[in-house]
Structure 1
């Protein structure tokens, strides 16, 4: 990790600790506010990139709204104001572009792969995807309309196994939270979520995940008020520094 990237990530972590519900920055006096809707799995790297962007664009503030991609796409379709949308899959981006809400074509900027999250001691002894189907195993997944849920369904189709989850969540961070709190024996999350969990969960990789790799697209939004800043933010995410921050968080290249 470069010294610059490490400094950005440290600043982002400190900011996230005081930012409450994932929003960074504020309106400020005379500040140009860029509103970014981003998939929940992007919280750590996008918080870092927002701080870097503000530093390189004096007078700007980046407000981040994190949630499941399907929820964000629905909000945008209902008129929620935003300048940029970063989705965890092409399907939810297609809802936005299909409604005529995107400015130009989306750019793919990252990939992510599922892994199994278990509590650090792994009390249920989960070692494979097949173990998730054992009777009595408390498994949590994302709802199928959420990208991590769609990926789980794809893996089920590939393996011919059907899971019986005790809960289906609207965001991958909620799945991670249930595993970390001990409410579940295992959950299907992204590799990046386990890396960012700081030891609260342990990852169990499984080869079948390679059949359902998610590609992340990003687009400026037609109704946004800060079009120049939006394009600049897209350039940062897809550029060398953005790709470095994403790689450090565990994301793959598109």
Structure 2
């Protein structure tokens, strides 16, 4: 073998060895790390509380941008309805509830076996249509028969929180309508169909200039913790774990904080 040929052969071997260091054995970058390389793929179905609609929609788009092979589909509704759907066998990868009570309904059946993690907190505000045509001044006005009032039904987290604040304040509310999720309540306010309602502060912020928000002291004693977990029979278990991790990452937390949620 000539000296020049031997040198070329050794160079080829060295190049091949270096190429192997960056091959398929290289660990994938963690989800949300900012790497352009795909880390997870396939469809990921997320069941999430209605109050997470705006923040999770943004997080879903960011997650897909970080994981080009993944497609996130959301089912937003009241947490109690979502828990029931999962327990009845609905194919969900992730469940994000607006209260630990509804998450427990799913962990008790074994539909979720991981330990749920609380990732944000939220609290109620009084919401009125822009301009406050009903001249609502505080929580006591929810007992007035001449005002049109909307609340969440008690089985959903926003309704359970509302019941608690009314008990603390010693007020018996006189609602004209009870809705199955907080976005339905918010719609009643934004359309001017009611004079006042109790919704989360994040919903007031999401509604923009269509709704005016009014904080009240009792809300601090009825704060909702939001837990999230991957489902035990997730069709895309790797995608489920990656999405949960992304929600809890600095990038996910930044979106949630911007939407008005508080850290746990």
Shift of 1:62: 0.3
- Unmatched 5+ stretches in structure 1: 1-30
Q: Which residue of 2 aligns with 1:153?
A: 163
Matching residue within 124, 143, 159 for 2:134: 124
Matching residue within 210, 219, 236 for 2:246: 236
1:35 aligns with 2:39: no
1:98 aligns with 2:128: no
Matching residue within 190, 193, 211 for 1:183: 193
1:246 aligns with 2:256: yes
What does 1:48-63 correspond to in 2, within 5 Å?
48-63=58-73
Matching residue within 220, 233, 242 for 2:230: 220
1:110 aligns with 2:115: no
1:143 aligns with 2:153: yes
Q: Which residue of 2 aligns with 1:174?
A: 184
1:195 aligns with 2:216: no
Aligned 8 A contact 2:150 2:185 in 1: yes
Shift of 1:103: 3.5
**SS of corresponding position for 2:117:** strand
Aligned 8 A contact 2:154 2:163 in 1: yes
- Root-mean-square deviation (CA, aligned residues, Å) is 0.9
Aligned 8 A contact 2:144 2:174 in 1: no
**SS of corresponding position for 1:245:** helix
Residues matched between the structures, number: 224
- Give the TM-score taking structure 1 as reference length: 0.87
Runs of 4+ aligned structure 1 residues displaced above 2 Å come to none
Aligned 8 A contact 2:94 2:231 in 1: yes
Separation in 1, partners of 2:215, 2:259: 17
Shift of 1:55: 1.1
Q: Which residue of 2 aligns with 1:87?
A: 97
- Unmatched 5+ stretches in structure 2: 1-40
